[in-house]
RNA sequence: GCCCGUGUGAUGGAAUGGUAGACAUAACAGACUUAAAAUCUGUGGCCUUACGGCGUGGCGGUUCGAGUCCGCCCACGGGUACCA
C-alpha cells in the first residue's frame, strides 16, 4: 500500500477539476445561485497565512453550496492601486505598474496550488484601465446625480518631500521619509456626499440580520447620531461682522455650569483674531501642525488660549463667559464651537483646572452631595440626580429628562433649536498620488470644472513617469495634463487627483457579476447574481470598507447601475480573525531588540533557545505576523512540505474562525499526521474483507450523527467544531469492528464530509473506494433521522449546584420517578445525612439539583 | 483618548444559564523494534491517601445553579476617516 503523497494527489485532481470546468460560474436562472466572496487581496507579492485562512473558509462554503445544488459564484481579483507600489518605485526605481502586475503573477502562482474553487475567468485588477474606466463612468454619473462635490480640507503636508502624507506615514509629527515636521495644508478636494445618507445608512443596519452584532454596533457608533441643542452666544466686544458664536451641545441641561466657550483653531473667528495677535496666530499654527488623525488629536495634551473675547450667557445677560481657542475642538463636527461644563466632563474639568477657570456643579449625586473636585461627575443619562437651581425648575430627574426639557424650553423661548447631528463626515476621495484611478474631470479657464465625456473614457494613467523627484508625477506631466475642454473645446488641464482606493473596493463585487460587460454592470447578471450571499473578510474592515460599499451600492441604485434590491449588497457577513505567530525576541548589548526566525529557535518545555549559541530568548505569544518581527510563516513552504490539504485543514482546525489562530509548526505536523492516518485507515478498509455483523448498526448511527453535526457546523461557520467532530468520527471508524460494507459506507461519508476542507485527499480516497465520478460533483450526504434517536439519557445530579453523581433514565420518565432515583444516589444520601432537602429542581432532560 | 472585541489546563480550544476542560498539540508510561522513526494502547486542571476542597484575567452582584447575565477594574488585539 502506498503512502499519502499530497504532492502528486493534489496536482492530479486540480487538473481533473479544471478539465471538467467544475468552478466556472454561468448565469443560469434555472438554478438557485449562491455568491460567496472573500475580500480581495492587495497584491503585496507574497501570499500570507491570513489569505490562506480567509480563502479556505470561503472555499469550504463554496464547495458545500455546490454539493447542495447551488450555482456558485466564487471569483477572485486584485485590489491593485495603493501606496506600496509607489513606495516601492521610490525605493528601487521601478514602475508601480510593473511592480503590481509582477506581484499579481507571483501571488496567483502561489494561490493556484491551494485548490480553491476560484473562477479565474472573471479575474481583474482594479488598476486595469478597463476596470477603472468603468469606475470613472460611475463617478460621472454620481457627479451629475449631485452625489459628488468639491470643498476645502486639510491634509498632512511634508514640506521637504513636497507631498501629502497618509496618517500612517506621520511618525511623532514628522514625515517618515524626510523627518521634516509635518504641516496641515488646506486643499480643494473631491467628496462623496455620504453624510446625506447618515440616517438611511444607520436605520438600515438593523435589518442586516446576518451581520455580526459587533460590526453593526461599530457602524452605528461610527455614524454617531446625536440629538442636541444649537444656540448662539452673543459677543460683548464683537469683531467686525461676527457678533455671535453658534454652539452645538448634547448636554444643554448643564448650561448653568458653563465655564467658558471654546472654539476650534480653524473657526472663522479664530482665523480673524490671529490677524491681530501674534500669540493667537502662534497658537493656531501649533494646532494646525497636529497630525490629522483622530487618535493623535485626542491623545495630545489639551491646550488653549484666551481670546480676550467675552460672551453673554443666554439665560443671564449679566453673566460673562470667556472665549478660548482649544486644540481639542474640531471644526468638522457640529459648529466648531462649544460651551464647556467642567463639573460634568473630565476633559473640560482638566482644562478648567489647568487654566484656573470656574467649576460649577449643576447636579449632584443623590447619595453623595459633595461638589466636584478633581473628578468630573458623569453619571449615566438614565440615573436620577439632584439638580441645583435648574432653569426648567426640575429638581430630581435623570440627565435624559433634563436634556429633553431643556431643548423644549429653549425652543419655546426661541433662543435655541433642536438639532440632530451625525459624526459621519463626507467621504474625501481625492488623493494627490499617481497610482490610483484618475478623477475624470477637466479644469477649463472659461468653463471651470467640467466632467470628461464618457466616450473619452478611460482616462488612463500615463506610463512615462518617474519617482526620483519629490511630488506627484501627474502634476509635472504637462503632456498628459493638456487636453481639450469637453464643453468649449479650448485648451484645458486634467485633474491630477486620483481616487481613494476605497472607491475601487466599493463595487468590485458588482463587477465580478459581469467582468467584461461594456457598461459598468449588466442588468441580466446583476439581477441574477446580486447580492453577495456570503461575504468574508477581516474585522479590520468593519467600518470604512463596508460602510463605503453600502453607500456606493445606494449611489449605484440611484444612477441606475443596480436594482433597488441590491441597496444592501452583502446579505451575510463573516469576519475572520488573524493568523498569528509567536515572536522570538532578544535584547542586544546596546539595548536594541533583535528578532529571530522560528527556524533559528529551539523550543523546550515552553522556553525558547537560539540554536547557534543556546542563549534563551523571550517568547511573545500570538503576535500579528509581520515582516519586521521575523515571525511570518510562508504558506508556500508549508504547501511544499505537507501539501495544500494539510495547510487548509490546519488553518480551519483548533481556533474558531472569528478568532485569531496561532500558527505552530507542531500543529501543522499534527494536521498532516491526521490526514495520513485517514488515508491509511481507508486503504485498510478497502483491503480487508469483513462480513456484516452486530457492530454495523452502531457505526451507521455514529455516521448519521456525524453528518448531522458536521453539516450544522459548516452552515454556522463552526469549521473548528466540524473538524473536531471529524476527528472523533475517524477514531470511531478506526476502532470499529463492523463489516466491510458498513465501514465503506462510513468511510465514503467521511471523505465527503472532509471534502470541503481537504478536497484533494477526499477525491483520491473516493477513487480508491471504487467510485468513478468526481466527488466535487456529488451531492452532500443526507441524514437518516431514524439513526439520531436515543431512548435513554444521562442526567447529572447536583447538590447545591455541585455535581455529585449521575443517573441513567428513560427519556420520558416521570418527574416524580426521577426525583426518587436522584434522592437514592449515594452521594446525595451522604450529603443529606438523614435530613430533608429544602428544594429539588428538575430540568427535564437536562439536570437535577438537590438544595440542602 | 474614544468605539468594538478577546481573556478557560503546559498549549490551541469545547461547553442553548445546567456534568468545566469535548477534540487536538506538547508531555509521560507501555506495546512493537537490535535501535530509532512511524504506528498502536494508556495517563492527563491544582491540592488531598481518602472524604473532600479550590479552579474559566481580578473584585463584587443576580440565580437553586454563572465560563456564560449585570457592575467596576486589569491586560491584550482591531478601528479611529490618506495602510489596505
- Higher-confidence residue: A586 or A761? A761
Q: Which nucleotides of B are covered by protein (CB under 7 A)?
A: 1-6, 10-16, 18-20, 22-26, 38-41, 51-53, 64-66, 76-84
CB of A676 under 7 A from strand B? Answer: yes
* pLDDT per residue as tens digits for the range A12-32: 999 999 999 988 888 888 889
Average pLDDT for A538-555: 96
Distance (Å) from CA A741 to C1' B18? 40
Nucleotide in closest CA–C1' contact with A214: B4
Give the residue among A12, A119, A13, A121 at the shortest CA–CA distance from A66. A119
CB of A654 under 7 A from strand B? Answer: yes
For residue A338, name the pLDDT band (cuts at 50, 70, 90): very high
3-state secondary structure of A561: coil
Quickly list DSSP for A97-151. HHHHHHHHHHHHHHHGGGT---BGGG--BTTSHHHHHHHHHHHHHHHHTT-EEEE
CB of A353 under 7 A from strand B? Answer: no
Rounded to whole angstroms, how far apart are CA atoms A198 and A426? 10
Nucleotide in closest CA–C1' contact with A659: B6
Give the residue among A398, A379, A249, A269 at the shortest CA–CA distance from A314. A249
Distance (Å) from CA A349 to C1' B1? 15
For residue A820, name the pLDDT band (cuts at 50, 70, 90): confident
3-state secondary structure of A322: strand
CB of A417 under 7 A from strand B? Answer: no
CB of A278 under 7 A from strand B? Answer: no
- Higher-confidence residue: A2 or A28? A28
Rounded to whole angstroms, how far apart are CA atoms A156 and A173? 10
- The protein residue nearest nucleotide B15, judged by CA to C1', is A721
For residue A798, name the pLDDT band (cuts at 50, 70, 90): confident
CB of A212 under 7 A from strand B? Answer: no
* pLDDT per residue as tens digits for the range A380-426: 787 788 888 888 888 888 888 899 999 999 999 999 999 999 999 99
- Higher-confidence residue: A40 or A796? A40
Distance (Å) from CA A663 to C1' B29? 29
Nucleotide in closest CA–C1' contact with A84: B83
**pLDDT recorded at residue A92:** 86
Average pLDDT for A713-727: 92
Indicate if the pLDDT at residue A443 is higher than 70.
yes
Distance (Å) from CA A646 to C1' B42? 28
Distance (Å) from CA A580 to C1' B5? 16
Rounded to whole angstroms, how far apart are CA atoms A388 and A394? 9
**pLDDT recorded at residue A280:** 92
Q: What angle do CA A265, A267, A273 make, to 5 degrees?
A: 75
Nucleotide in closest CA–C1' contact with A724: B23
Rounded to whole angstroms, how far apart are CA atoms A269 and A244? 10
For residue A825, name the pLDDT band (cuts at 50, 70, 90): confident
Rounded to whole angstroms, how far apart are CA atoms A826 and A566? 64
CB of A79 under 7 A from strand B? Answer: yes
Average pLDDT for A270-290: 88
- Higher-confidence residue: A769 or A633? A769
**pLDDT recorded at residue A620:** 63
Cα-atom radius of gyration of chain A, to the nearest Å?
33
Contact (CB, 8 A) for A234 and A252: no
Least-confidence region, from A441-445, A750-754, A822-826 = A822-826
Average pLDDT for A355-375: 84
CB of A501 under 7 A from strand B? Answer: yes
Distance (Å) from CA A745 to C1' B36? 38
CB of A624 under 7 A from strand B? Answer: yes
**pLDDT recorded at residue A385:** 85
CB of A667 under 7 A from strand B? Answer: yes
- The protein residue nearest nucleotide B51, judged by CA to C1', is A830
Distance (Å) from CA A471 to C1' B62? 63
For residue A605, name the pLDDT band (cuts at 50, 70, 90): low
- Higher-confidence residue: A751 or A371? A751
Rounded to whole angstroms, how far apart are CA atoms A272 and A324? 14
Average pLDDT for A425-448: 96
- Scan residues 588-617 of chain A and list those with Cβ within 7 Å of strand B: 606
- Scan residues 551-590 of chain A and list those with Cβ within 7 Å of strand B: 578
Give the residue among A364, A321, A333 at the shortest CA–CA distance from A250. A333
**pLDDT recorded at residue A847:** 87
Indicate if the pLDDT at residue A585 is higher than 70.
no
CB of A728 under 7 A from strand B? Answer: yes
Rounded to whole angstroms, how far apart are CA atoms A90 and A497? 19
* pLDDT per residue as tens digits for the range A161-188: 889 999 989 888 889 888 898 888 889 9
CB of A301 under 7 A from strand B? Answer: no
Nucleotide in closest CA–C1' contact with A662: B12
Quickly list DSSP for A579-647. EEEEEEEEE-TTS-EEEE-GGGEEEETTEEEETTT--EEEEEEEEEP-GGGT-PPPHHHHHHHH-HHHH
Mean pLDDT highest for which of A126-140, A290-304, A306-320?
A126-140
Residue that has been written with the C-alpha cell 523550543 in this structure? A603
* pLDDT per residue as tens digits for the range A474-533: 999 999 999 999 999 999 999 999 999 999 999 999 999 999 999 999 999 999 999 999
Cα torsion through A596, A598, A603, A607, rounded to 10: 40
**pLDDT recorded at residue A297:** 85
For residue A198, name the pLDDT band (cuts at 50, 70, 90): very high
* For chain A, percent of residues with pLDDT exceeding 90: 59
User: Which set of grid coordinates corresponds to residue A26?
Assistant: 454561468
**pLDDT recorded at residue A603:** 61
Residue that has been written with the C-alpha cell 546596546 in this structure? A590
**pLDDT recorded at residue A305:** 92
**pLDDT recorded at residue A474:** 94
CB of A413 under 7 A from strand B? Answer: no
Rounded to whole angstroms, how far apart are CA atoms A510 and A531? 9
**pLDDT recorded at residue A582:** 64
**pLDDT recorded at residue A3:** 82
* pLDDT per residue as tens digits for the range A639-656: 888 999 999 998 898 788
Average pLDDT for A666-681: 90
CB of A843 under 7 A from strand B? Answer: yes
Indicate if the pLDDT at residue A722 is higher than 90.
yes
Nucleotide in closest CA–C1' contact with A830: B51
User: Which set of grid coordinates corresponds to residue A65?
Assistant: 453550496
Nucleotide in closest CA–C1' contact with A78: B84
The mean pLDDT value of chain A amounts to 89
Indicate if the pLDDT at residue A581 is higher than 70.
no
CB of A757 under 7 A from strand B? Answer: no
Rounded to whole angstroms, how far apart are CA atoms A416 and A432? 41
SS3 content of chain A, % helix, strand, coil (to 5): 40, 25, 35
For residue A452, name the pLDDT band (cuts at 50, 70, 90): very high
Distance (Å) from CA A139 to C1' B25? 53
**pLDDT recorded at residue A630:** 65
Distance (Å) from CA A633 to C1' B58? 35
3-state secondary structure of A263: strand
* pLDDT per residue as tens digits for the range A53-91: 999 999 999 999 999 999 999 999 999 999 999 999 998
**pLDDT recorded at residue A470:** 83
CB of A151 under 7 A from strand B? Answer: no
- Scan residues 107-136 of chain A and list those with Cβ within 7 Å of strand B: none
Is the peptide bond between A202 and the residue preceding it cis, with omega within 30 degrees of 0?
A: no
Average pLDDT for A769-784: 94
**pLDDT recorded at residue A79:** 97
Indicate if the pLDDT at residue A330 is higher than 60.
yes
Rounded to whole angstroms, how far apart are CA atoms A768 and A71? 28
**pLDDT recorded at residue A631:** 65
Q: Please give the backbone phi and psi of residue A500, each rounded to the nearest 5 degrees, phi first.
A: -50, 140
Give the residue among A628, A604, A626, A627 at the shortest CA–CA distance from A617. A604
Distance (Å) from CA A673 to C1' B64? 47
* pLDDT per residue as tens digits for the range A215-256: 999 999 999 999 999 999 999 887 777 889 999 999 999 999
Amino acid at each position: 500500500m502506498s503512502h499519502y503523497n499530497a504532492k502528486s494527489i493534489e496536482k492530479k485532481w486540480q487538473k481533473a477539476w479544471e478539465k471538467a470546468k467544475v468552478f466556472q460560474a454561468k448565469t443560469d436562472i434555472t438554478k438557485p445561485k449562491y455568491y460567496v466572496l472573500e475580500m480581495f487581496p492587495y497584491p503585496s507579492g507574497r501570499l500570507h497565512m491570513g489569505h490562506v485562512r480567509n480563502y479556505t473558509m470561503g472555499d469550504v462554503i463554496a464547495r458545500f453550496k455546490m454539493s447542495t445544488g447551488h450555482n456558485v459564484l466564487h471569483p477572485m481579483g486584485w485590489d491593485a492601486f495603493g501606496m506600496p507600489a509607489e513606495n516601492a518605485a521610490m525605493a528601487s526605481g521601478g514602475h508601480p505598474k510593473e511592480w503590481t502586475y509582477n506581484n499579481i503573477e507571483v501571488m496567483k502562482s502561489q494561490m493556484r496550488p491551494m485548490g480553491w474553487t476560484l473562477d479565474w475567468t472573471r479575474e481583474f485588477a482594479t488598476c486595469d484601465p478597463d476596470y477603472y474606466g468603468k469606475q470613472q463612468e460611475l463617478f460621472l454619473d454620481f457627479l451629475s446625480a449631485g452625489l459628488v462635490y468639491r470643498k476645502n480640507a486639510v491634509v498632512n503636508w511634508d514640506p521637504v518631500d513636497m507631498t501629502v502624507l497618509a496618517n500612517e506615514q506621520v511618525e511623532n509629527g514628522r514625515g517618515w521619509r524626510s523627518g521634516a515636521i509635518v504641516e496641515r495644508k488646506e486643499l480643494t478636494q473631491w467628496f462623496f456626499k455620504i453624510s446625506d445618507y447618515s440616517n438611511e445608512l444607520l436605520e438600515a443596519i438593523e435589518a442586516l440580520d446576518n451581520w455580526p452584532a459587533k460590526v453593526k454596533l461599530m457602524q452605528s457608533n461610527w455614524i454617531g447620531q446625536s440629538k442636541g441643542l444649537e444656540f448662539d452666544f452673543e459677543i460683548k466686544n464683537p469683531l467686525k461682522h461676527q457678533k455671535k458664536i453658534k454652539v452645538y451641545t448634547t448636554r444643554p441641561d448643564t448650561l448653568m455650569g458653563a465655564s467658558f466657550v471654546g472654539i476650534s483653531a480653524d473657526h472663522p473667528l479664530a482665523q480673524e483674531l490671529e490677524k491681530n495677535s501674534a500669540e493667537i496666530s502662534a497658537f493656531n499654527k501649533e494646532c494646525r501642525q497636529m497630525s490629522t488623525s483622530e487618535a493623535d488629536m485626542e491623545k495630545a495634551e489639551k491646550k488653549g488660549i484666551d481670546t480676550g473675547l467675552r460672551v453673554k450667557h443666554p439665560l443671564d445677560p449679566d453673566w460673562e463667559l470667556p472665549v478660548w481657542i482649544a486644540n481639542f475642538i474640531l471644526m468638522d463636527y457640529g459648529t466648531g464651537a462649544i460651551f464647556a461644563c467642567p463639573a460634568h466632563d473630565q476633559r473640560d474639568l482638566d482644562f478648567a483646572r489647568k487654566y484656573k477657570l470656574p467649576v460649577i456643579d449643576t447636579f449632584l449625586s443623590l447619595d453623595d452631595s459633595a461638589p466636584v473636585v478633581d473628578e468630573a461627575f458623569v453619571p449615566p443619562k438614565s440615573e436620577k440626580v439632584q439638580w441645583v437651581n435648574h432653569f426648567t425648575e426640575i429638581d430630581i430627574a435623570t440627565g435624559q429628562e433634563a436634556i429633553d426639557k431643556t431643548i423644549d424650553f429653549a425652543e419655546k423661548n426661541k433662543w435655541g433649536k433642536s438639532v440632530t447631528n451625525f459624526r459621519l463626515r463626507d467621504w474625501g476621495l481625492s488623493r494627490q498620488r499617481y497610482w490610483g484611478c484618475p478623477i475624470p474631470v477637466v479644469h477649463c479657464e472659461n468653463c471651470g470644472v467640467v466632467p470628461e465625456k464618457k466616450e473619452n473614457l478611460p482616462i488612463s494613467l500615463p506610463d512615462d513617469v518617474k519617482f526620483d523627484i519629490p511630488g506627484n508625477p501627474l502634476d509635472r506631466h504637462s503632456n498628459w495634463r493638456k487636453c481639450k475642454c469637453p464643453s468649449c473645446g479650448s485648451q484645458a488641464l486634467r485633474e491630477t487627483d486620483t481616487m481613494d482606493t476605497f472607491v475601487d473596493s466599493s463595487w468590485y463585487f458588482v463587477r465580478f457579476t459581469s467582468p467584461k460587460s461594456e457598461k459598468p454592470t449588466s442588468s441580466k447578471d446583476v439581477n441574477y447574481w446580486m447580492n453577495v450571499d456570503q461575504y468574508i473578510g477581516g474585522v479590520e474592515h468593519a467600518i470604512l470598507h463596508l460602510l463605503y460599499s453600502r453607500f456606493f451600492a445606494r449611489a449605484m441604485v440611484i444612477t441606475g447601475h443596480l436594482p433597488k434590491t441590491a441597496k444592501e449588497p452583502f446579505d451575510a457577513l463573516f469576519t475572520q480573525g488573524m493568523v498569528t505567530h509567536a515572536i522570538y525576541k532578544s535584547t542586544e548589548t546596546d539595548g536594541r531588540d533583535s528578532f529571530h526566525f522560528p527556524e533559528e529557535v529551539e523550543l523546550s518545555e515552553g522556553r525558547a533557545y537560539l540554536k547557534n549559541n543556546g542563549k534563551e530568548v523571550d517568547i511573545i505569544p500570538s503576535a500579528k505576523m509581520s515582516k519586521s518581527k521575523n515571525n511570518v510563516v510562508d504558506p508556500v513552504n508549508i504547501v511544499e512540505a505537507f501539501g495544500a490539504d494539510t495547510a487548509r485543514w490546519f488553518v480551519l482546525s483548533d481556533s474558531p474562525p472569528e478568532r485569531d489562530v496561532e500558527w505552530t509548526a507542531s500543529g501543522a505536523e499534527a494536521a498532516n499526521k491526521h490526514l495520513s492516518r485517514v488515508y491509511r485507515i481507508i486503504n485498510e478498509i478497502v483491503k480487508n474483507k469483513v462480513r456484516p455483523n452486530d457492530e454495523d448498526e452502531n457505526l451507521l448511527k455514529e455516521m448519521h450523527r456525524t453528518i448531522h453535526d458536521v453539516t450544522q457546523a459548516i452552515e454556522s461557520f463552526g469549521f473548528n467544531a466540524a473538524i473536531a467532530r471529524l476527528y472523533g468520527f475517524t477514531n470511531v471508524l478506526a476502532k470499529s469492528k463492523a463489516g466491510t460494507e458498513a465501514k465503506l459506507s462510513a468511510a465514503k461519508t467521511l471523505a465527503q464530509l472532509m471534502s470541503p476542507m481537504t478536497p484533494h485527499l477526499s477525491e483520491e480516497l473516493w477513487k480508491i473506494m471504487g467510485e468513478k465520478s468526481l466527488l466535487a460533483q456529488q451531492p452532500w450526504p443526507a441524514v437518516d433521522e431514524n439513526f439520531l434517536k436515543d431512548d435513554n439519557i444521562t442526567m447529572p445530579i447536583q447538590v447545591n449546584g455541585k455535581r455529585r453523581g449521575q443517573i441513567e433514565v428513560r427519556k420520558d420518565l416521570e418527574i416524580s420517578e426521577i426525583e426518587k432515583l436522584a434522592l437514592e444516589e449515594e452521594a446525595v444520601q451522604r450529603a443529606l445525612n438523614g435530613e430533608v432537602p429544602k428544594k429539588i429542581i428538575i430540568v427535564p432532560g437536562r439536570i437535577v439539583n438537590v438544595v440542602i
